Chain A
Amino acid sequence: MKFTPIQLEGNVNVSKSHPLIELLWLLGGLVLLTGLVFFILGVTADWAVSKTPIKIENWIGQLALNEFPAEDNPALEQRLQALLDSLPEDSALHQYDFQIFLSDTEDVNAIALPGGNIVVFSGLLELMESENELSMVLAHELGHFAHRDHLRRLGRGLGVAVAATLLFGEESAASNLISKTLLTFQEKYSQDQESAADQFGLALLTRSYGHAGGATDFFSRLEEDAGSKLPYILASHPHPQDRIDALNEQIKKKHYSIAKIQPLSLEL
């Protein structure tokens, strides 16, 4: 028998498919999977939030408040009270015992913590030019309480972390990747929450002052140095211009009147 060596054509040990096509399939699957997980978590978190008594929320709030060094501020309290007084009788917000604090931080922000605690950063106050603007910001935060957004966010965040860790282990690359994808969904959800809180704020502002003057002033000042809309795809808040447009549309739809705004009194 004569030995004739032949070189084999092709390669059975390597799959033929193109790696980029495989990447597309896998990424598509990942987005679909995390979207589904986020949806289920959302439904569960929302259900749990609706069953959570305000007492438990107050307890969580006390824990959260310890994270922020803040002081009472009578001037802010007075304005918040004015807004609370103009709430409808049947509003669920009456169950909260609201407290407002001023924190000496340069951030332009205000946050709603569980249990009716609102923390306003001094950086935000410095930008305020009228009473109406300030009321709009406070009413926006009250909107977060009305929709119980702070608890929802907490529930979803916890759910995401727990699910990714349980499925893929604490320090694995896969759970890292999944958390990052989920975060994108989370930001989108957060933008929707902010828009809803804006709408609530607008309605309350109009109830309190009898007109919608000053509702968009603060956002137009933010808009001046907000720049391009592109970075806002991944941000927790919508682009200021989008917020202004949404508010103006609502003002037009509800035929809110716009009257003269009151300048900020100086005691702050």
Chain B
Amino acid sequence: MGILLQNFDLVIFLVLAVLGYTAGSWAEKKHYRSINQREKELIKLVVVTAEGSFPPERIADAALVSGSVVVSIDYFKRLLAILRNIFGGRIKSYESLVDRARREAILRMKESAKKRGASIIINMRLETATIGRSANKKKSVGSVEAIAYGTAIVMNK
């Protein structure tokens, strides 16, 4: 017991890292399952980055649709990133984070377009931002925001 109390900061560090790893990878797996499934469901709704032009009589409605999401890093990912800061190279632990955020944002945008009855989203744009001023500072956990927006087009039948 004494040794645990003597190295209390080390214990906290280990607990956080293990918790971050187990909870983080569980949440990530779950999220990816949901992303894959919803992407399959919404695959018929086309998203393009091109501006697109349609004859006016074919268009019933056009509206801005957007989807945004904020995903937090966990302690384990941060630990890997700190170690990467020393040696350099790809911060692989953050890759999946940004990937999840972008795909989730596109999915949310598509879901809102589907509610409007749109059949295509044109001019789609993606943006990423860090949340919180302390996102890159010591002893604080940062998070990533991704926002996707575009023009949803509802066609005349």
Interface of A toward B, CB cutoff 8 Å: 3, 5-7, 11, 13-15, 17, 19-20, 22-23, 26-27, 29-30, 33, 168, 171-174, 176-178, 227-228, 230-231, 234
Task: Check if B86 sits within 8 Å of A23, measured CB to CB.
Answer: no
> Which of A19, A20, A173, A228 sits near B138, CB closer than 8 Å?
A173
Cβ-based interface call for B85 (8 A): yes
Q: Complex formed: what's the CA distance from A178 to B82 in Å?
A: 11
Given contacts A30-B86, A177-B82, 8 further A-B contacts (CB under 8 A): A5-B46, A13-B95, A14-B99, A19-B21, A29-B86, A176-B138, A178-B86, A228-B3
Cβ-based interface call for B2 (8 A): yes
Instruction: Give every chain B residue within 8 A of A171 (Cβ-Cβ).
Output: 138
Instruction: Give every chain B residue within 8 A of A227 (Cβ-Cβ).
Output: 2
Instruction: Give every chain B residue within 8 A of A33 (Cβ-Cβ).
Output: 86
Q: Complex formed: what's the CA distance from A211 to B104 in Å?
A: 79
Cβ-based interface call for B149 (8 A): no
Q: Complex formed: what's the CA distance from A189 to B44 in Å?
A: 66
Q: B62-96 toward A: CB 8 Å interface, digit per residue (1/0)? A: 00000000000000110110111111001011011
Q: Complex formed: what's the CA distance from A6 to B39 in Å?
A: 10
Task: Check if B99 sits within 8 Å of A13, measured CB to CB.
Answer: yes
Cβ-based interface call for B40 (8 A): yes
Task: Check if B95 sits within 8 Å of A15, measured CB to CB.
Answer: yes
| Shortest Cβ gap from A160 to chain B (Å) | 15
Q: Complex formed: what's the CA distance from A196 to B94 in Å?
A: 48
Instruction: Give every chain A residue within 8 A of B156 (Cβ-Cβ).
Output: none
> Which of B39, B86, B92 sits near A174, CB closer than 8 Å?
B86
Q: Complex formed: what's the CA distance from A19 to B85 in Å?
A: 16
Taking A22-B80, A26-B84, A227-B2 as contacts, is the C-beta distance between A15 and B138 under 8 angstroms?
Answer: no
> Which of A3, A5, A174, A230 sits near B3, CB closer than 8 Å?
A230
Shortest 10 CB-CB contacts between residues of A and residues of B: A26-B83, A15-B92, A231-B3, A13-B99, A5-B43, A14-B96, A173-B82, A14-B95, A173-B138, A174-B85
